[in-house]
Structure formats: structure tokens, C-alpha cells
Chain A
């Protein structure tokens, strides 16, 4: 198990299998994709807005975020990519990237040729279906983020983002001890929720004072998971992983 787990594309394969039953041959084809592994520092750009992507990158470890910068220079974070995510499936059939992707932490990134992947998904319908589903789930998360920044107050926004992060990490067996290491600064949390970092700081303190979370540096512990979900108006349906709750146990 350990050797196949260590294969960077194993992460991608595991995600695809959430959405589609892949025949053995397809599983093999995914794992046999040629890739190049790179170690990159926090802050490195994986994709820049306006680029013509030639690679599709898989995060073998580490975290990244999608972002756009407005005309007046303020930044909005659009999504957080967690270990195992394929970063530019969104760009796979669009010729120019409409946003940038930057690393939140140091990471191991596996580069797969975009052209090779395109050929694979078009020639193998089961793989294609799985990848479409993955990108649709990302789109669903984006819709929820429009709601989050558009119509929720500051406390709900932050609580919602924390819940989402926890459920996504849990689905990949990446949470421990009812909590997780938040790989984001308060400024980055602010950019993800359309708030100021001062506001984020105040909200986090409030959530802690009310006994919903406890914090130690960047470790967030869920002192009251149910109350946190309630505070964030959070329901996991939009993550489309409710059928896979047992995933954490199979890790």
C-alpha cells in the first residue's frame, strides 16, 4: 500500500474513483501518465492569469489557492487546493487561464503534460466522466463561495470556510484530532471571504470565546463542531461527497 500511496498520481486516481468506476486498464493508464515532480516554495506561482497552460499539475503535498486581482489591486481568493487536488483541470480545455494559482505552503507538485491528459480523457470515457465530475464539484464550491461572500455576515463567512475546509480535508483523511492545521494567514482568510484581516481576527476570537473552536498557533480544533456548522450556515451537500463519508476510515 505504501509504495502505491507514494506515487503522486495515486492521489489523482483516488479522487477520480470517487466519481466513476474505472476499469483496471483506465486505472493503469492514469498511473502510467508521464510526470515530473518538483519541490516548490510557498508563494510560487503554478499558473498565472493570462497564461496558456501546457501542464496540468497535481499537488502531491502542500496547499495552494486560486486568486484574481482586481483593477485596483485588491485580491480575492477563489478556492483553496488541498493535497491530492489537480490544479488546472479547470483550464484543461480553455486555452487561456482566467485566474492565477499560487502555493500557500511549500509543496511537491507533479507536472503532467496537458496534451497527454487531454488525449487520455477524450479516448477513455470513464476517465473523462470522472474528471468532468471533479471540475463540476469545484464549480459547486465556487457557487457556494458566491453565496458566502455575497449574502453572509462576517462570522458566518469565516465559520463556513472553516467547516468546508474541515470536511474536504476529512474526505482525504487529512484531519486529526477534530481539527486541522490552517495553512492560511488571517490576511489570506480575509481575501477568501471579502473581509479585512482585522475583521477576521475579531471573528476568530469571537468563535473561540463562544467555545466553537480553540486555536494554538494555526491549529484549529473544533471544540463544538455542530455549533460551528450552525454558525456558518453550513450544509455539506454542495461538496457532493456525502456518499463517501466512510472515506476517512479506509485511508
Chain B
């Protein structure tokens, strides 16, 4: 679908969980923003930084991460177009984690004050922002479970299920496959595994004919079996709110 306005996908996504009037939709589309392109692996937000903007992902993939003192990295979530990548930081004032582009990304940078003014004067939009942050938190909870209590095969399968489910909801994957630019190292950092372990797990999911993954394209061959392998239940994504 060709969007006439960069923020139309955001309006469309919010309309699924919030009751936006025509006036609300216009007000969102009227948000001032600067369009910015980020290369692969660029930092969008750095931990410790005071936040003055809220950033909406327009194209590409991004992720949140934290670095450990020993240089290790834990990825905390992945983001797809039409999602805010830093509402969490933006509303708290100081970033407690980093946000990085995963591949070439286009972002709409909205001044924090403009978003604050809009939500202050508009209860439905405030609620939409709020629901977004609550769903983010629910996803974090599920990730704690994933790294805390699932084995490596379930962790990887669960992550694939979540991403496919969200991508599908956003209208991607119409041809049966998904653009999937995540490296094995990134998958490992998101699941608390080593890259070697991740590689072995992906191979076993391939061998069992649950997925096909090559040259950055992911095809799910057996969705039910993948959900079963990943102990995946979509409830936590709150798509029926």
C-alpha cells in the first residue's frame, strides 16, 4: 500500500486499538517531524542521554539494547515500521537503554514537546500512546520468561513467532515470506545464547521443516509447529484490546 503521508501507518496501527476520530487522525498527521536516514547499526538513542525527541520508525528494523561492563550486549526488543522506538525513554526524560538501527532505517523525529502537547490536549491520543507503552511492557515481561525459563530451541522459535506475528499484523509478508535482516549474532543477543548455539538451533528448526531462512528472507513452513516449539501464545501482544 502506498502511503501518502509518512505517519499514516502509525495512524492505521493506533486505530486498531484506539477509537480515533477524524480530527484525532488529522492532528497526528499534523505532528511536526524531521525525516532522518540511519545507516546499519547506527545509534538512534544512547543510554544516559536526555531525550528531547520521540522517534517513529518509518522503514527498516531497529532494536533496543543494553551493554554490560564486560562488553556483552542484551537486545531487549525489536521494532518494525510504524512503531515508536523510544517512547519509553522519551516520556521518562533520560534514556535507560540504547536504540540502534538494525539495517538502513528511515525515522520520523518528532519533538518531544509536540507529542506532549498533542497528548495533553487529546485524551484519545494520550490513551493510544499509553496502550503502546503498556504493550511494550508486556513484551518485556514475555522476554524475561523467554531468557529465564525456556531452552534454546524454544527461545529462538518464540522470538521468530513474535516477529512473524507482528510483521503480519503490520501487513508485511503478503507473499508468504518476510524480510528478515537479523544476524545470528543479534538473535543470540536477544535470547541470551551464544552465536554458535543460535546457529545450531536455527539449523534444527530448518531441518525439522518449521522454517526456511536464507539470504535475509524468512518463510514459515509450519506455523503451528513453530508456535508449539516456541511455547508461543499471542495473548501478551494484546492485539485484541
Chain A residues, CB < 8 A from B147: 146, 149-150, 194
Chain B residues, CB < 8 A from A93: 127, 130-131, 134, 241
A70 to B145, Cβ gap below 8 A? yes
A151 to B74, Cβ gap below 8 A? yes
CA distance A233 to B74 in the complex (A): 14
CA distance A99 to B140 in the complex (A): 12
CA distance A150 to B144 in the complex (A): 8
Chain B residues, CB < 8 A from A78: 141, 144-145
Q: 1/0 contact trace for A65-107 toward B, CB 8 Å?
A: 0101011101110110000000000111111101100000000
A136 at the interface (CB under 8 A from B): yes
Q: Which of these, B92, B123, B192, contacts A151 with CB under 8 Å?
A: B192
Chain B nearest CB, measured from A78 CB (Å):
5
Within 8 A of A (CB), among B66-81: 66, 68-69, 72-74, 76
Q: 1/0 contact trace for A117-141 toward B, CB 8 Å?
A: 0000010010010001101111110
Chain B residues, CB < 8 A from A114: none
Q: Which of these, A49, A132, A136, A150, contacts B74 with CB under 8 Å?
A: A150
Chain A residues, CB < 8 A from B68: 147, 151-152, 233
Chain B residues, CB < 8 A from A72: 231
Count CB-based A-B contacts (< 8 Å).
142
B238 at the interface (CB under 8 A from A): yes
CA distance A49 to B238 in the complex (A): 12
Q: Which bucket holds chain B's interface residue count?
A: 35 or more
Chain B residues, CB < 8 A from A138: 137
Closest chain B residue, CB of each to CB of A68: B145
Chain A nearest CB, measured from B118 CB (Å):
12
Chain A nearest CB, measured from B209 CB (Å):
21
A218 at the interface (CB under 8 A from B): no
A98 to B144, Cβ gap below 8 A? no
Q: Which residues of B contact A (CB under 8 A)?
A: 47-48, 64, 66, 68-69, 72-74, 76, 88, 91-92, 94, 96-97, 120, 123, 126-127, 130-131, 133-138, 140-145, 147-150, 154, 189, 191-192, 231, 235-236, 238, 240-241
Given A137-B92, A139-B88, 7 new contacts (CB under 8 A) = A75-B149, A76-B145, A99-B236, A132-B130, A139-B137, A140-B96, A143-B76
